[in-house]
Amino acid sequence: MTATANRVPAQSPARQRGLLGFNMLTGIILGVVGWWVFYLLGGLIQGYTNHGFSQTGQNDVQIMLGYLGGVIGFLGGLGFLNYPIQRMMGYPPNIPDHEVEEPGLGKYFRLTTDHKVVSQQYFVGIAFFFFVGGLNAMLIRTELLSPTTHVFGAQQYLTLVGVHGSMMMGMMTSGVLGPFANWLVPLMIGSRRMAFPRMESLTFWLLMAAGVVLITTVFFGGFQTGWTGYEPLANQGTAGYDAYLGFFGLVSISMTLLGLNLAVTIATMRAPGMTWSRLPIFCWSVVATAALMVLAAPMLTATLLMGISDRTLYTAFFDPGLGGSAYLWQNLFWVFGHPEVYVLAIPGFGIVLEILPVFARKPLWGYKIAVSGMLGVAIFSFFVWQHHLFVSGMNADLRPFYMLSTEIISLPTGFTFLAFMATLWRGRIRLTVPMLFCLGWAFNFLFGGISGVFNSDTPSDVTTHGSFFVMAHFHYTIMGGLLFSVMAAMYYWGPKMFGYKLNERLGKIHFWVMFLAFNSTFGPLFAVGFLGMPRRVVTYATNLTGLNDWVSVSAYVLGLSLLLFLFNMVYSWMYKRIPAEDNPWHSRSIEFQLPTPVPAQDFDEIPVFSGDPYPYGEALAPAGAEPATAGAY
Amino acid sequence: MRSEPNHMRRFVALWLLANAIMLPIVIFVLAPGMPPGNGTEQAAGQVVDNTVLLALSTPVALGVLLFLGYTIWAFRERNLDGPVLDGPAVTGNSSVQMWWLITTTALVLFLAGFGSVRLLEDGSGGGQGPSPLVVPSGKALQVQVIGQQWQFTYRYPAYGLETNSLVLPPDTLVEFHVTSLDVIHSFWAYQLGVKADANPGVDNIAYVETRGPLSFEVRCAELCGVWHGYMYNPGKVASSKAAFASWIQSQQQKYSAASKVLPPYSHTYFPGPNGRSG
């Protein structure tokens, strides 16, 4: 904390007030300018070297450069270049000691160093792209209402599948760390800011740029490879595939920086007394996830650069016809891809274990085993990736090893379940809406995990690999796991973050509709896969029509349940606005001891932590008594 | 405070009862219907695997679900408007942790061992790459499966035949050599219990031992482009070896002109004539 004390106090925001300062509008304008400048430049380059490597007749050099220029222009317009340029010109560093209250909506459309504002930007941005991805899912299910094509053509259908997958697997990796960790981690560890506040903002705007890049794929004919982007099929792709490469490239950079920032923040910015063994379990899940992001996402960056260079610089990493290997992409992609799916699971573990003690009114049971479970999952996730390639013919003799390593990963996952179940035992369980979602998480993740055992067993996987069974499996873990825990977090921390109460009755209706519709959507898909339907097909056997129609209708209800949540947010915000109390859940964690809304500088003075993170239980506090400040203070 | 019942004993009794009801249902009613059926040795082997996995996961799933249900029923705060009361301040129990670790580790090691033994028994119908680890004994009929956008072609090198329909003799060990001419496909013959990726430039070998006559469906199981969803064809295991021989003969006659100009048999056909993919 003393490190920032001698810096200049709060920076005056007046310089950025105007519409034509450095904000989103300027960013978009300069982004479009940057696109065209680099696009035309790319045309000149390609004009000299027109070997026509791309089999599509489209100029990939031009388009990739266009994306690069667009992103640079966008970030420059937002003001990300100001600080480096100022420093290069000899100005002193001007990081504010703490944030100042800034009225108005302008701060949401700018580079900001307030971690709470960045988190709210993440909320809206992620929600928007989640909506786009979800809409794609609805359209996919519409097409699958009948066994033949009837709404979309095969090409459109594959683009829908690819955009849905990329959006969900790419952007939603930041779905917890972006909105929740950015908000919670500094508060939980008693810091007033992140370690790298500008980088925090950069991760958000990079992610938004990535989302836009992915959507531009529809202007270039879409892409037909799904989110895995397998080569050499990708080499046949039109420029729509360039959008995929640009999208995941930006996402991977954003992920790396987000993970790095959070890991460094937790490692270095903890307040006095916040030892590692007092770290809230949510922060531990962020540590594990951040480690995965920092170690795995650069792998994706490298893979995509190789893919980009295959399409623009005439290399042939992945083209077997020119001496490359079709296996190489699969290997590189899944070395990133398997840790990545745990990036989508571990934050959920952290959320439910953080919320559970509050509503079971007990300390977290087995804190150490819960922590080791998360770290164990993170470590093991680097050693399982070839279970995606059991029937590919590559390294087939290693299949027993990957079977073992994959099944071992269920041990640390089991620790999370042990902590979850034992915390509930003999508690005084309060079935509030967040608690319902936590229980929903346990139910769904249980089936996600058990179905994973079938996939990890190589003989069984011969049939389930590449079928709807796998698809149902990872929707149970990611949507049933992560999304349910995110909803728990929304109902739990949402009032604190946004300053108003969410309607409890609507929340309960939302939970039950979502829980039943989710299981009614993805449960039958296990059967569909077992009956032999491969993934990503636009046609299927006619005897599966009944099951598919059932699934589609359930999927619509599932979509509606999310709209119900949106309705609850808007209704509670605009029509029935009740300001949230400071501590509606009688929680004893530090963020609930702060006033609502949390002031810009977070703490008047840096807290000193002296106790256990979960001081619940009869032995520690008299029943019914609520300490004036956190037990943690 | 009134005397508490022994919750753990109740829960265990409930769990045992649920298992006594569910396990016979799972093993005798659900398991025989598990995919991919008993059409071949390898498919039947997968059914055994699925049965064992299902039987082992039933007590686990029942345990967690009943535990959640029981805790909600027994320890639920019924008066949410009253004072907020805390439960006991229990932060852990090392013997529970130890037994949990021992049980789950034993389960996991058993599963991995079981899966490996099953895999090494007959290859389970999966693609094993160009030098297969598991080669079932017996004389094998070679059938080459060539994937291309968007159909499968089958070559029977022993008969100098190339055709686009797949018929196999009964009670025979079949050695599939799966390869591709362009992008990655996956040869999935569901009822045979066979799945092997077709990679350009790679000879991916999978074994299956056919039993009696069988109709099966071949589908591509790896996204291979626009018409991936249309890449399927029916196949069958012939009713007798004589029927298979006469089918071969009829196909040889049908394709006699074409087979003279075909490229010679090879384990891979890549790079293609123009030296590049796609």
For residues B230 and B248, give the distance between their C-alpha atoms in angstroms, rounded to a whole number. 26
pLDDT digits 0-9 by tens, A264-277: 999 999 999 999 99
Rounded distance between C-alpha atoms, residue B184 and residue B164, angstroms: 19
Q: Which domain holds residue A419?
A: 109-593
The pLDDT of residue A349: 96
pLDDT one-digit tens code per residue, A284-301: 999 999 999 999 999 999
**Average pLDDT over all residues of chain B:** 91
B228 token code pair:
């991936």
Together in a domain, B154 and B229: yes
The residue with greater pLDDT, A123 or A17, is: A123
* Distance, CA of B14 to CA of A360 (rounded, Å): 23
Decide if B101 and A421 are in contact by the 8 Å CB cutoff.
no
Evaluate the CA torsion angle A294, A296, A300, A302 in order and state its sign: positive
Q: How many CB atoms sit inside 10 A of residue B32's CB?
A: 11
Identify the residue with better confidence: B213 or A104. Answer: B213
Q: Suggest the residue from B66, B91, B134 to mutate for an interface test with chain A (most A CBs closer than 10 A).
A: B91
How many contacts does A have with B, using Cβ atoms within 8 A? 322
ipTM reported for the complex, 2 dp: 0.94
Verify whether the Cβ–Cβ distance A232 to B272 is below 8 Å: no
Nearest CA distance, B138 vs chain A (angstrom):
21
Which domain covers residue B209, as residue numbers?
Answer: 140-259
Judge contact between B66 and A415, C-beta under 8 A. no
Chain A residues near residue B126 by CB distance under 8 angstroms = 390-391, 396, 399, 458-459, 461-462
Residues in B touching A458 (Cβ below 8 Å):
115-116, 119, 124, 126
Look at residue B251 and tell me if it is in a domain: yes
Interface of A with B in 121-150 (CB under 8 A): none
Predicted TM-score of the model (pTM) = 0.92
* Contact partners, residue A76, CB within 8 Å, separation at least 6: A27, A30, A34
pLDDT of residue A49: 56
B193 located within any domain: yes
Domain count, chain A: 1
Give domain status of residue A7, yes or no.
no
| Nearest by CB: B89 against A408, A439, A619 | A619
Q: What pLDDT digit, counting tens, does each position of A342-387 carry?
A: 999 999 999 999 999 999 999 999 999 999 999 999 999 999 999 9
User: Given this model, what pLDDT does residue B2 score?
Assistant: 56
Decide if pLDDT at A311 tops 90.
Answer: no
CB spacing of A366 vs B195 below 8 angstroms = no
Is residue B264, in this structure, part of any structural domain at all?
no
B185 occurs within a structural domain: yes
The CATH number of residue A120's host domain is 1.20.210.10
Q: What's the CA gap between B181 and B144, in Å, rounded?
A: 13
Task: Answer for the pair A539, B229: CB distance below 8 angstroms, yes or no.
Answer: yes
The string of pLDDT tens digits covering residues A551-564 is 999 999 999 999 99
Task: Please indicate, yes or no, if residue A309 is contained in any of the structural domains.
Answer: yes
Residue A574 confidence (pLDDT)? 87
Gap between the Cα atoms of B10 and B96, Å rounded: 18
The Cα A283–Cα A397 span in angstroms is 39
Chain B CB within 8 Å of residue A196 CB: no
Segment A36-87, tens digit of pLDDT: 999 888 888 766 555 544 445 677 888 899 999 999 999 999 989 988 888 8
Q: Work out the minimum CA distance from B168 to partner chain A, whole angstroms.
A: 20
pLDDT of residue A86: 87
Residue A82, domain member (yes or no): no
B191: closest chain A residue by CA: A532
Residue A1 has pLDDT above 80, yes or no: no
pLDDT at A632 over 70: no
Q: Identify which of B72, B80, B278 has the shortest CB distance to residue A236.
A: B278
Taking the C-alpha atoms of residue A210 and residue A207, their distance in angstroms, rounded to an integer, is 5
Name the residue among A394, A537, A618 with its Cβ closest to that of B229: A537
On the CB side of B199, CA atoms within 13 Å amount to 28
Total structural domains within chain B:
2
Tell me whether residue A267 is in a domain: yes
Which contiguous run of DSSP H or E holds residue B18?
helix B7-24
Chain centroid to Cα A203, Å, comes to 12
Tell me, rounded to whole angstroms, the distance of Cα B232 from its chain centroid: 18
What was the pLDDT predicted at A11? Answer: 47
Residue B198, SS3 per DSSP: strand
* Domain presence at residue B266: no
On whether any CB of chain B is under 8 Å from the CB of A368, the answer is yes
- pLDDT tens digit sequence for B37-67: 999 999 999 999 999 999 999 999 999 999 9
Q: Which residue of B has its CA nearest to A529?
A: B35
CA distances from residue A518 to A5, A443, A483, A511 in whole angstroms, order as listed: 50, 11, 11, 10
Angle of helix A399-408 relative to helix A433-456, nearest 10 degrees? Answer: 160
For residue B203, what is the domain's CATH number? Answer: 2.60.40.420
The rounded Cα A185 to chain-centroid distance in angstroms is 16
**Chain B residues lying within 8 Å of A427, measured CB to CB:** 71, 75, 87
User: Is A170 within the bounds of a domain?
Assistant: yes
Question: Cβ(A421)–Cβ(B67) under 8 Å?
Answer: yes
Query: Per-residue DSSP letters for A561-574?
Result: HHHHHHHHHHIIII
Answer yes or no: is B1 within a domain.
no
The answer as to whether B29 is a domain residue is yes
Q: Kindly tell me if the per-residue pLDDT of A14 is higher than 70.
A: no
Check residue A626 and give its pLDDT.
Answer: 42
Say if residue B79's pLDDT is above 90. Answer: no
Same domain, yes or no, for B113 and B176? no
B207's enclosing H/E stretch is: strand B204-209
Tell me the per-residue pLDDT of A376-429, one tens digit each, with 9 for 90 and over.
999 999 999 999 999 998 888 899 999 999 999 999 999 999 999 999 999 999
Q: What is the pLDDT of residues A464-518, one digit of tens each?
A: 999 999 999 999 999 999 999 999 999 999 999 998 989 999 999 999 999 999 9
What angle (nearest 5°) sits at the alpha carbon of residue A83, between those of residues A79 and A88?
Answer: 135
By three-state DSSP, how is residue A32 classified? helix
Q: How far is CA A99 from the centre of its chain?
A: 26
| HSE of A384, CA atoms in CB hemisphere, 13 A | 25
Taking contacts as CB-CB distances below 8 angstroms, the residues of chain B near A544 are none
The closest alpha carbon to A212, from A171, A154, A161, belongs to A171
Residue in A closest to B177 by C-alpha: A393
- Can you read off the two tokens belonging to residue A272? 């006095």
Question: Do B70 and B162 sit in the same domain of this protein?
Answer: no
Distance of CA A188 to the CA centre of its chain: 20
Q: Is residue B145 one of the residues assigned to a domain?
A: yes
